[in-house]
Amino acid sequence: MNRASNVFIPLALTLCSALPCACRTTRERVPKDAAAAAPVRSSVQRAWRVVEGDRVCGFVLAFREDGPGERVFYAVQNEFRQELGLIDAQGRAWRYRPFQEQPDHLTSSTLADGARAILGTAAAARLEELSPAALHGN
Protein backbone atom coordinates (compact mmCIF):
# COMPACT_ATOMS: atom_id res chain seq x y z
CA MET A 1 0.00 0.00 0.00
CA ASN A 2 1.29 3.42 -0.82
CA ARG A 3 1.24 6.49 1.33
CA ALA A 4 -1.67 8.17 -0.52
CA SER A 5 -3.98 5.24 0.13
CA ASN A 6 -2.98 5.26 3.83
CA VAL A 7 -4.38 8.80 4.05
CA PHE A 8 -7.32 8.39 1.66
CA ILE A 9 -8.92 5.25 3.16
CA PRO A 10 -9.30 6.58 6.75
CA LEU A 11 -10.54 9.92 5.38
CA ALA A 12 -13.12 8.17 3.16
CA LEU A 13 -14.30 5.98 6.06
CA THR A 14 -14.70 9.05 8.28
CA LEU A 15 -16.77 10.85 5.64
CA CYS A 16 -18.95 7.77 4.99
CA SER A 17 -19.68 7.34 8.69
CA ALA A 18 -20.66 11.02 9.01
CA LEU A 19 -23.09 11.00 6.07
CA PRO A 20 -26.02 9.28 7.87
CA CYS A 21 -25.83 11.98 10.56
CA ALA A 22 -26.22 14.64 7.89
CA CYS A 23 -29.60 13.30 6.71
CA ARG A 24 -32.67 15.08 7.98
CA THR A 25 -36.23 13.85 7.80
CA THR A 26 -39.16 16.21 8.16
CA ARG A 27 -42.87 15.52 8.49
CA GLU A 28 -45.51 17.90 7.28
CA ARG A 29 -49.23 17.78 7.96
CA VAL A 30 -51.44 19.14 5.23
CA PRO A 31 -55.25 19.30 5.35
CA LYS A 32 -57.00 17.12 2.80
CA ASP A 33 -59.05 19.99 1.46
CA ALA A 34 -58.95 23.77 1.53
CA ALA A 35 -62.18 24.01 3.56
CA ALA A 36 -60.49 22.19 6.45
CA ALA A 37 -57.78 24.85 6.49
CA ALA A 38 -60.17 27.80 6.38
CA PRO A 39 -60.43 29.87 9.57
CA VAL A 40 -63.64 29.52 11.56
CA ARG A 41 -64.99 32.64 13.17
CA SER A 42 -66.61 32.41 16.58
CA SER A 43 -67.86 34.81 19.21
CA VAL A 44 -68.10 34.72 23.00
CA GLN A 45 -71.64 33.99 24.17
CA ARG A 46 -71.17 33.54 27.92
CA ALA A 47 -68.36 33.79 30.46
CA TRP A 48 -67.64 32.48 33.96
CA ARG A 49 -65.01 33.16 36.59
CA VAL A 50 -63.65 30.04 38.36
CA VAL A 51 -63.35 30.82 42.08
CA GLU A 52 -61.80 28.67 44.79
CA GLY A 53 -62.36 30.19 48.23
CA ASP A 54 -61.78 33.89 47.62
CA ARG A 55 -59.19 33.38 44.85
CA VAL A 56 -59.95 33.67 41.12
CA CYS A 57 -58.29 30.64 39.51
CA GLY A 58 -59.35 31.19 35.91
CA PHE A 59 -62.09 31.78 33.40
CA VAL A 60 -64.36 29.77 31.12
CA LEU A 61 -65.54 31.34 27.86
CA ALA A 62 -68.41 29.86 25.84
CA PHE A 63 -67.86 30.33 22.11
CA ARG A 64 -70.37 29.74 19.31
CA GLU A 65 -69.22 29.43 15.73
CA ASP A 66 -70.61 32.14 13.49
CA GLY A 67 -72.41 30.65 10.53
CA PRO A 68 -74.49 27.62 9.67
CA GLY A 69 -72.68 25.05 11.87
CA GLU A 70 -73.05 26.93 15.13
CA ARG A 71 -70.91 24.52 17.14
CA VAL A 72 -70.37 25.46 20.79
CA PHE A 73 -67.12 25.00 22.70
CA TYR A 74 -65.64 26.31 25.95
CA ALA A 75 -62.14 27.73 26.33
CA VAL A 76 -60.60 27.48 29.81
CA GLN A 77 -58.07 30.16 30.75
CA ASN A 78 -55.93 30.62 33.84
CA GLU A 79 -55.98 33.83 35.89
CA PHE A 80 -53.48 35.40 33.44
CA ARG A 81 -55.85 34.73 30.49
CA GLN A 82 -53.61 32.00 29.04
CA GLU A 83 -55.71 29.31 27.37
CA LEU A 84 -55.03 25.98 29.08
CA GLY A 85 -57.69 23.74 27.61
CA LEU A 86 -60.93 23.15 25.82
CA ILE A 87 -64.29 21.62 26.69
CA ASP A 88 -66.67 20.56 23.92
CA ALA A 89 -70.47 20.63 23.94
CA GLN A 90 -70.56 17.01 25.19
CA GLY A 91 -68.50 17.87 28.29
CA ARG A 92 -65.21 16.28 27.15
CA ALA A 93 -62.31 18.27 28.61
CA TRP A 94 -58.79 18.43 27.18
CA ARG A 95 -55.73 20.18 28.60
CA TYR A 96 -53.00 21.49 26.34
CA ARG A 97 -49.47 20.34 27.25
CA PRO A 98 -46.34 22.26 26.27
CA PHE A 99 -44.43 20.69 23.37
CA GLN A 100 -47.14 18.07 22.77
CA GLU A 101 -48.98 17.79 19.48
CA GLN A 102 -52.26 16.57 20.98
CA PRO A 103 -53.97 17.70 24.22
CA ASP A 104 -54.59 15.27 27.08
CA HIS A 105 -58.19 14.11 27.63
CA LEU A 106 -58.96 14.66 31.31
CA THR A 107 -62.63 13.95 31.89
CA SER A 108 -66.09 13.70 30.37
CA SER A 109 -68.44 15.39 32.79
CA THR A 110 -70.04 18.74 33.53
CA LEU A 111 -68.64 22.09 32.49
CA ALA A 112 -67.63 22.85 36.10
CA ASP A 113 -65.84 19.49 36.51
CA GLY A 114 -64.01 19.98 33.22
CA ALA A 115 -62.88 23.48 34.21
CA ARG A 116 -61.69 22.21 37.61
CA ALA A 117 -59.74 19.38 35.96
CA ILE A 118 -58.06 21.70 33.45
CA LEU A 119 -57.19 24.32 36.08
CA GLY A 120 -56.22 21.74 38.72
CA THR A 121 -58.50 23.19 41.39
CA ALA A 122 -60.33 21.44 44.23
CA ALA A 123 -63.91 20.19 43.95
CA ALA A 124 -65.00 23.23 46.00
CA ALA A 125 -64.12 25.61 43.13
CA ARG A 126 -67.26 27.13 41.62
CA LEU A 127 -68.26 28.97 38.45
CA GLU A 128 -69.60 32.53 38.77
CA GLU A 129 -71.21 33.86 35.61
CA LEU A 130 -69.96 37.15 34.17
CA SER A 131 -71.08 39.26 31.27
CA PRO A 132 -68.62 38.94 28.36
CA ALA A 133 -68.11 42.72 28.58
CA ALA A 134 -67.15 42.42 32.26
CA LEU A 135 -64.53 39.84 31.33
CA HIS A 136 -62.56 42.41 29.32
CA GLY A 137 -62.67 44.97 32.11
CA ASN A 138 -61.74 42.44 34.80
The answer as to whether 2 is a domain residue is no
d(CA 4, CA 114): 72
d(CA 88, CA 65): 12
pTM score, whole prediction: 0.70
d(CA 53, CA 62): 23
Is the confidence at residue 18, as pLDDT, over 60? no
pLDDT tens by residue, 59-69: 999 999 887 77
The answer as to whether 15 is a domain residue is no
The answer as to whether 75 is a domain residue is yes
- Write the DSSP string, 43-100: EEEEEEEEEETTEEEEEEEEEEESSSS--EEEEEEETT--EEEEEETT-EEEE--TT-
- Show the domain range for 132: 34-137
The answer as to whether 108 is a domain residue is yes
Tell me the average pLDDT of the chain: 85
CA-based torsion, 49, 119, 54, 123: positive or negative: positive
The answer as to whether 7 is a domain residue is no
The answer as to whether 40 is a domain residue is yes
- What is the C-alpha radius of gyration for the chain, rounded to an integer number of angstroms? 26
Asked if 89 and 68 touch (Cβ cutoff 8 Å), the reply is no
The domain total for the chain is 1
The answer as to whether 122 is a domain residue is yes
**Percent of the chain whose predicted confidence (pLDDT) is above 70:** 78
pLDDT tens by residue, 100-135: 989 999 999 999 999 999 999 999 999 999 986 776
The answer as to whether 6 is a domain residue is no
Entry field: residues in the chain: 138
